[in-house]
Amino acid sequence: MTVEELLSRYSATNTITEDDIAEIQDSENLRWDLYNYILLHKNRNFILAILHKMTKLRAKVWEENVLPVNADSIMFASYLLGLHGQVEDSLEIWKAKITDFDTHCAVDIELIVFAGVDETLTYLEKQEPINGFDAFEYATGCYKAGSFEGLENYFKPERFVHGYYH
């Protein structure tokens, strides 16, 4: 599958399928192509659909004991969403991060502040906790601990290796 095929199907149906997610998760080339596509052509709704489908499938494991989407794939989709630089996406990435323990560990807190630390903290301060998890409190604690120092290095494209963001 190519990015063009995936995008064409999404545009026609406005949905991302489980098969699409499996293909993204299993194909290093497709992940690399998605990354390069988003660098040139922002498509926030497309990436939001991918992230939402991934987190829905990841949560499904607890309900139906099915093989989940791996946490690295959710990190990847969060990174692609962050490339759009929209402060409201900090909450979308936070929701993906708190899907379960493994995603909480895998999805870096730095991804939450793609739109800027001050802008993101101001935005998150106005949001309600989700499932008991307060994004503002967590992000503020990380800020105080120095987690957001050196973000210019964190966001460098060179960190995207072999279809994964490291």
Rama region for 116: left / alpha / beta (φ>0; ψ in -120 to 50; rest): left
Confidence of residue 94 (pLDDT cuts 50, 70, 90): very high
Write down the pLDDT at residue 150.
85
Q: Over range 72-87, report the average pLDDT.
A: 93
* Residue of 118, 119, 50 lying closest to 79 (CA atoms): 50
Whether residue 31 is predicted with pLDDT greater than 80 in this model: the reply is yes
Taking 3-state DSSP, the helix, strand and coil percentages for the chain, each rounded to the nearest 5, stand at 65, 5, 30
Write down the pLDDT at residue 62.
62
**Could you read off the pLDDT of 138-164 as tens digits, one per residue?**
999 999 999 999 888 877 777 766 555
Q: Scanning the structure block, which residue is given the tokens 């999805």?
A: 107
Q: Scanning the structure block, which residue is given the tokens 């690399």?
A: 32
Whether residue 95 is predicted with pLDDT greater than 70 in this model: the reply is yes
Write down the pLDDT at residue 162.
53
Whether residue 165 is predicted with pLDDT greater than 70 in this model: the reply is no
Cα separation, 81 vs 31, whole angstroms = 13
Write down the pLDDT at residue 144.
96
Q: Over range 18-31, report the average pLDDT.
A: 92
Q: 133: which strand partners? A: 130
Whether residue 33 is predicted with pLDDT greater than 70 in this model: the reply is yes
**Could you read off the pLDDT of 53-62 as tens digits, one per residue?**
999 998 877 6
pTM: 0.91
